[in-house]
Chain A
Amino acid sequence: DIQMTQSPSSLSASVGDRVTITCRASQSISKFLNWYQHKSGEAPRLLISAASNLQGGVPARFTGRGAGTDFTLTISSLQPEDFATYYCQQSLNSYTFGQGTRLEIK
């Protein structure tokens, strides 16, 4: 099984900050990596597919990079609506999510 490890598990930041979340796969997954945003009580939202492809309607302040085993999600200037939990997911071999990164307001 492919394991996905995210860091940090939680992060406190302020509106306007630049933040980066890291996701590491236990083996190479090429670009089979997606990022999701989840706010409690709501439906999760697909932000980025194939490591770097921004979904329609997702603000350009979200950027995904990486290939192989190491990936990042960067939010260039945090907005109030960005405080949520973020998950990476591999889809090369079945589907595995990272443990999540909870982004909180400082």
Chain B
Amino acid sequence: AQKITQTQPGMFVQEKEAVTLDCTYDTSDPSYGLFWYKQPSSGEMIFLIYQGSYDQQNATEGRYSLNFQKARKSANLVISASQLGDSAMYFCAMREKRGGGFKTIFGAGTRLFVKA
């Protein structure tokens, strides 16, 4: 079963508009963490934002915010005021306790295209 599901293989957004990238997850661990990473064409994974399962408020980092709906097990990334440089792959990831340690599992990603 998929642990992290990103249902949008590709998304288009107009420059300066906001865009939401979807992510749903599945875990039985009550203490987990959710992440979003950006991967530009250069290949490096860039950390964007983190949400802990016990965090009461939605995480925000500059133009990035995480719409955390715990009951629905969703952790959508909202990018406000899109910029051309936001064009990249975006990965949702979850860290959960498995076995004796923690493991981070990534989704398949969403490719975002920002149009001028």
User: Are A and B associated in one complex?
Assistant: no
Residues of B within 8 A of A (CB): none
